[in-house]
Amino acid sequence: MYSLSIEKTISAAHSLRNYQGPCARIHGHNWKINVQVSARQLNDIGIAIDFEELEKLTWEVIGPFDHQNLNDVAPFDKINPSAEHIVKYIYEQLKAKLPAHIHLQKVTLWENDNYMVAYEE
């Protein structure tokens, strides 16, 4: 089994609805996103998935959030933009875009150097 990962960063603001504390106020993060995929086989030139293709597909999912207030962007205009909701959304959207032979193992999201959440199925 081959395991590959990429990291991308976006800058975005959010505020947590119905939260008691400072995160109820609008604030921003430089969100770091790690995408880990796996494959059992390689193509004819020895590649599971080109890193650039994986980056492109990931950016299709996360790019619309870059330099935005997440509370204003679907689906977080309706659901609370918690790190848990964000990482699950990224996972589900990216999973649907990947080639059939690539398995999405896990997406990890850092709000900062100390706080992270991961989602996997």
- What string of H, E and C letters represents the secondary structure of 95-115? HHHCCCCCEEEEEEEECCCCC
* Predicted pLDDT at 77: 98
CA–CA gap between residue 46 and residue 100 (Å, rounded): 17
Query: Which of left, alpha, beta for 21 (phi over 0: left; psi -120 to 50: alpha)?
Result: left
* Ranges of residues in the chain whose predicted pLDDT is under 50: none
* Predicted pLDDT at 90: 98
* Predicted pLDDT at 94: 98
CA–CA gap between residue 60 and residue 57 (Å, rounded): 5
Residue that has been written with the tokens 């848990």 in this structure:
84
β-bridge partners, 38:
3, 103
Q: What's 2-119's CATH class?
A: alpha beta
